[in-house]
Amino acid sequence: MAEIDAKLAEQLNQAEPTAEEAFEKIAAGGKKKKKADLQWGDEFIEELNLSLQKLKTRIPLKNLVFFTRQLATMFAAGLTLEKSVTNLAEEERHPGFKKTLNNVSEDIRRGLSLSDSMEKHPATFDNLFVALVKAGEVSGSLQTILDQLASYIEAVHDTAQKVKSALYYPFMVLGFLVVVVVAMLVFIVPRFNEVYQSLGAELPIATQMLVRISDAVVESYGQVIFFLFVGLIVVWMIGLTRRGGYLIDTFKLNFPVFGTLINYNIYNKMTKTLGILLGAGVPVIPSMRLIQKVVDNRVYSKAVGTATEYIRDGYNISAAFRITEKFPSIMLQLLSTGEETGEIDNLLDKASDFYSKQVDSMVNRMTSLIEPLMIMFVGGMILVILIVTYLPVFYIGMAMKSGM
């Protein structure tokens, strides 16, 4: 009798998890050590391995969007999931993605669901992707959710690209300026100095200072490049740790002008992601866990984690977000209204549209203002160097004219 009870208990333990338990498992990303339990070295190695894995198995976004839309179309046309994925694998040109799709097709053929098959390939299909597919399977609206998922990926990516272009442009121009100035100091100024010395010309104070700077750069530019490279590596390694990454992300959010743009981009991504998750039927707690992973900023990830615990204790979403004091009043008001009316997914979508427009408007303003300022700054720096370099020529000409 005891043996029968033991077998029955074992069978109950192996029973299929509920939908909410399945979502919790997907949101958790499997059984991993808690961050608090990780030593500094373990934490760094884990983050480094994850970064290298993503870099090695990276799939172009356009391939993933095309696959998602085509899968939705084929499934809606009546093809089985296994046949749809197999056909798309045959047409796929990216070797890594093709291999992944073949593995997914094989797992479906063996009896696994689409979400379970995709969950085996986290570098290609992240937790959010898998959770939405699972929601589509549970609700019976897989085709609709796949279409929404493709649109979501495109929208979030487009907004992120706009932010990156606005952030990268001034730094690219400054980088170009540094290269031009260093090249002039290393190659052009020393040649002019040799000519002036051969003529025995007395150099103006400004030119003497430029020559000294040029000599210093020529003697130590290799060391400067080395230490700059080492410094960037150290900052990158610090950014992989929890505390270091939190400090760097805090600095980004508080950086003048650009910090506001980064905040708007995070609000856009958060509201859009939470809206599509709740609209697809994913429970609130797993949705919050997924949001915590997609915000790409440790400050907001910590705030979402704190809000999740308050929601677990019985607070509604807007109240939990308000307690963290990290989110804007417009977003909180829309969340509160959505909870009262039962239209939280639609109002989150409207909040996402609002912040997307804010990003577009700010990027356009920044581009129109920064571009002429950067051109004037670069032109001014090069002009100053040229004037100071050629200044002795005027002195020599005046000396020759007075001697005649």
Rounded to 10 degrees, what is the CA torsion of 358, 362, 363, 365?
Answer: 140
pLDDT per position in the chain (404 positions), as tens? 444 444 434 443 444 556 566 666 666 665 444 444 445 555 556 666 666 666 666 778 888 889 999 998 998 888 899 999 999 999 999 888 999 999 999 999 999 999 899 988 888 888 888 888 988 888 888 888 888 888 888 888 888 888 888 878 888 888 888 888 888 888 888 887 787 777 776 778 888 888 888 888 888 877 878 888 898 888 878 877 788 889 999 999 998 888 999 999 999 999 998 998 898 888 899 889 888 888 889 999 999 999 999 999 999 999 999 999 999 999 999 999 999 998 998 999 999 999 999 988 888 888 777 778 888 888 888 888 888 777 777 766 554 554 44
Predicted confidence at residue 11, as pLDDT, reads 41
Predicted confidence at residue 39, as pLDDT, reads 52
Predicted confidence at residue 34, as pLDDT, reads 46
Predicted confidence at residue 36, as pLDDT, reads 44
In this structure, the chain runs to a length of: 404
Taking the C-alpha atoms of residue 352 and residue 348, their distance in angstroms, rounded to an integer, is: 6
List all residues 6 or more positions away from 76 whose beta carbon is below 8 Å from its beta carbon.
143
Chain-centre distance for alpha carbon 287: 19
Output b/e per residue, 345-361; b: 16+ Cβ within 10 A. Answer: bebbbebbebbbebbee
Predicted confidence at residue 4, as pLDDT, reads 41
Taking the C-alpha atoms of residue 305 and residue 292, their distance in angstroms, rounded to an integer, is: 6
Rounded to 10 degrees, what is the CA torsion of 40, 41, 44, 49?
Answer: -150
Predicted confidence at residue 27, as pLDDT, reads 64
Domain locations in the chain as residue ranges: 35-125
Q: Which two tokens stand for residue 125?
A: 């299909």
Taking the C-alpha atoms of residue 328 and residue 153, their distance in angstroms, rounded to an integer, is: 24
Element (H, E) at 19: helix 19-28
Report which DSSP code applies to 33: -
CATH superfamily placement of domain 35-125: Type II secretion system (T2SS), domain F (1.20.81.30)
Predicted confidence at residue 83, as pLDDT, reads 92
